[in-house]
Structure formats: structure tokens, C-alpha cells
């Protein structure tokens, strides 16, 4: 059975995430301490106790989600001998790509934490709060073609693009507030439902170019080595082992589309993956995997019991 580890993105955070792992495993506590030390912040306490509004801030949520994912991976490696060596590929949704790279050894844990702090802050300040918006287009008629048609209508009023092609029935658009509003009306006329997302900035669209410029500077000095397993990247939906390609694609990712549906289809097709394991907080990606690649198995690895059950099968 060919396995891919997949790593969640923003929106999967929740107060209390990682607490069970930290209580059960010293190796998880080590990860949380390393991230705290790298950031000079007691992020692990914020993850454990909240408040939720502080954890949800982009600059906190991004490194926090990565920390939980890497705690899962370190426990699998150290305590169950079921870590990255069992994977044919890794992939991560948006910020989860950093988790995937750190899990595969391309980035150090501390560098990933620091880069995600910069990324979160840069995305937050790329434009004033409230100037942009994101909306999830959902329903059985929703696909990327419908979303692109809706975004094209929105683009008459400002920047509006498809930001996340998650799966059939779930595509996210992003851009200027007025443009996204117009796109929502078009999407409804085309038979989709639309939900404005509670986000602080319009991610994965050209309005994030100032953040991409900041990330280019931060990534220029980051040490990136070849990952232990190929990383299927958001921008290309194809695998790479090339450190310099990874560096450039992480910059492109800030303004580019998250091609998650295409990535999963490639993994389940040409990649030969028959099992997806979502490492980290929540169960969003495992749910998507079941919709995109119904012939593959998909599990979420959150709790000590999840990890023990999974490790017994690989």
C-alpha cells in the first residue's frame, strides 16, 4: 500500500490542539518547545489554552498548525517507527506545504516556524483589513470552471481569482471585496452556494504580492535541502525534490492557486497512492481525499490512539 502524508492548512486550528499528544509523548513536547524557542513565544500555551481569537490570528495559526503536524510526525518516527520513511510522497494545503517540507527534512523545524511567522505577518499587512475578501463556492454544481466564470465576472470590479481548488463542490475565490461580492452573485446565478469566509486577508491572489516579496527575501537565506520524499507542490500539482525549485514555488504559492484537487488526483493516479494520512489538527484533508480519490483510504492522525492504530498498519 503506497502512502502519502498530507498536512492541513489554516482553518484547522482549534484551542486544545496537540494537548493530548503533549501529555502522552515527550517527543511531541520537544517539538512544541522547539517552536516556542524559535519564535520567542509561548505558542504552545496559546494552542493549549487560547484565547481562540489570538490563536486564529494568521501569524499564530500558521506556525501552530505546523507544530502540531510535526509533533504527529515526530511521535510516529520516535515512538512507533512509522514516520516519513514510510511515505512515497508528501503534500500540504497552503501553509501545510511548509509542514510537509519540514516533515520531509527539507526545512528545519525552527526555520519552518520562523518562516511561517514571517508569512503570517506579511499576509496580514499586505493590504488593509476589510479591503479584500474570500468566499467558498459550494454545492454539487460547483467546480473550478464555474468558479472561474464567477471570478471573471468579479474581475470587472477589481482583483478576483480562484484561490483554492479544493475538490468538486468546494472552490474558494479571493480578491477585492467588491469584486468577490460580484463573483458571489454570479456564482449563485450559476447554481452554486457561496459563503463569505472569516479571514483577515484575501489569500492566494495577486493582492498578496507584497507578502510574496517579503517571503522571497526571507526564503532567499533559508536553508533548504532535498526532502526525504518528493513534495507535491500547491502551485504545480506535481512532485519535486529540487531545493531551488521548492524555494521559488514557496514564493509563488503566496499569490498562486492552491491546486489541491489536482494534487490529490495526481497522487492517486500517476503517483500510485492508495492511502492518505492527514498529519495534524482536524480532519478536513482526509474528508477531501475521500471525495477526490474515493478508491484510496484516508485517515486523520490527531490523537495518541489514532497514531497507535495507524502505526500498526504500516
pLDDT tens per residue, the chain (314 residues)?
699 999 999 989 999 999 999 999 999 999 999 999 999 999 999 999 999 999 999 999 999 999 999 999 999 999 999 999 999 999 999 999 999 999 999 999 999 999 999 999 999 999 998 899 999 999 999 999 999 999 999 999 999 999 999 999 999 999 999 999 999 999 999 999 999 998 889 999 999 999 999 999 999 999 999 999 999 999 999 999 999 999 999 999 999 999 999 999 999 999 999 999 999 999 999 999 999 999 999 999 999 999 999 999 99
Claim to verify: residue 99 and residue 222 sit in the same structural domain: yes
Q: What is the pLDDT of residue 208?
A: 97
pTM, full prediction? 0.97
Claim to verify: residue 158 and residue 24 sit in the same structural domain: no
Claim to verify: residue 115 and residue 144 sit in the same structural domain: no
Claim to verify: residue 100 and residue 218 sit in the same structural domain: yes
Measure the CA–CA gap between 277 and 296, rounded to whole angstroms.
11
Residue 130 located in a structural domain:
no
Residue 131 located in a structural domain:
no
Claim to verify: residue 11 and residue 147 sit in the same structural domain: no
CATH number at residue 189: 3.30.70.250
Claim to verify: residue 103 and residue 230 sit in the same structural domain: yes
Q: What is the pLDDT of residue 21?
A: 97
Fill in the DSSP letter of residue 18. Answer: T
Q: What is the pLDDT of residue 1?
A: 63
Please provide residue 138's backbone torsions phi and psi, each rounded to the nearest 5 degrees: -135, 165
**At CA 153, angle to CA 150 and CA 157, rounded to 5?**
130
Catalytically annotated residues:
94, 204
Count of structural domains within the chain = 2
Claim to verify: residue 83 and residue 217 sit in the same structural domain: yes
Q: What is the pLDDT of residue 46?
A: 98
Q: What is the pLDDT of residue 251?
A: 98
Task: Give me the domain span that covers residue 152.
Answer: 136-199
Of 152, 182, 199, the last residue of a domain is 199
Which segments of 53-178 are extended strands (E)? 89-92, 132-138, 160-167, 170-176
Q: What is the pLDDT of residue 22?
A: 98
Of 199, 217, 240, the last residue of a domain is 199
CATH number at residue 268: 3.40.366.10
Q: What is the pLDDT of residue 85?
A: 96
Residue 303 located in a structural domain:
yes
Claim to verify: residue 295 and residue 185 sit in the same structural domain: no
Q: What is the pLDDT of residue 161?
A: 98
Nearest Cα to 13, choosing from 77, 59, 73?
59
Residue 291 located in a structural domain:
yes
Of 182, 199, 216, the last residue of a domain is 199
- In DSSP terms, 136 is beta-bridged to 172, 195
Residue 289 located in a structural domain:
yes
Amino acid at each position: 500500500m503506497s502512502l502519502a502524508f498530507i498536512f492541513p492548512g489554516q482553518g484547522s486550528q482549534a484551542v486544545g490542539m496537540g494537548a493530548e499528544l503533549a501529555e502522552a509523548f515527550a517527543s511531541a513536547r520537544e517539538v512544541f518547545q522547539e517552536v516556542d524557542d524559535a519564535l520567542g513565544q509561548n505558542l504552545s500555551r496559546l494552542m493549549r489554552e487560547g484565547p481562540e481569537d489570538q490563536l486564529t490570528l494568521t501569524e499564530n495559526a500558521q506556525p501552530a498548525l505546523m507544530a502540531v503536524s510535526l509533533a504527529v510526525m515526530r511521535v510516529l518516527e520516535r515512538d512507533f517507527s512509522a514516520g516519513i520513511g514510510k511515505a512515497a510522497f508528501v503534500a500540504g494545503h497552503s501553509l501545510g506545504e511548509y509542514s510537509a517540507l519540514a516533515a520531509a527534512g527539507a526545512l528545519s523545524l525552527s526555520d519552518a516556524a520562523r518562516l511561517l511567522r514571517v508569512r503570517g505577518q506579511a499576509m496580514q499587512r499586505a493590504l488593509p483589513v476589510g479591503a479584500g475578501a474570500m468566499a467558498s463556492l459550494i454545492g454539487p454544481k460547483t467546480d473550478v470552471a464555474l468558479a472561474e466564470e464567477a471570478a471573471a465576472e468579479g474581475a470587472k470590479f477589481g482583483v478576483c481569482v480562484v484561490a483554492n481548488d479544493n475538490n468538486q463542490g468546494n472552490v474558494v475565490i479571493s480578491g477585492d471585496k467588491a469584486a468577490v461580492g460580484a463573483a458571489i452573485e454570479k456564482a449563485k446565478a450559476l447554481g452554486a452556494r457561496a459563503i463569505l469566509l472569516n479571514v483577515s486577508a484575501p489569500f492566494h491572489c495577486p493582492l498578496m504580492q507584497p507578502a510574496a516579496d517579503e517571503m522571497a527575501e526571507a526564503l532567499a537565506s533559508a536553508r533548504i535541502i532535498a526532502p526525504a520524499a518528493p513534495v507535491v507542490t500547491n502551485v504545480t500539482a506535481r512532485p519535486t525534490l529540487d531545493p531551488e525549485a521548492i524555494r521559488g514555488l514557496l514564493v509563488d504559492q503566496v499569490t498562486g492557486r492552491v491546486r489541491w484537487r489536482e494534487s490529490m488526483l495526481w497522487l492517486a493516479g500517476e503517483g500510485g497512492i492508495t492511502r492518505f494520512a492527514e498529519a495534524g489538527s482536524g480532519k478536513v484533508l482526509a474528508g477531501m481525499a475521500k471525495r477526490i480519490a474515493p478508491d484510496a483510504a484516508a485517515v486523520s492522525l490527531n490523537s495518541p490512539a489514532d497514531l497507535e492504530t495507524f502505526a500498526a498498519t504500516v
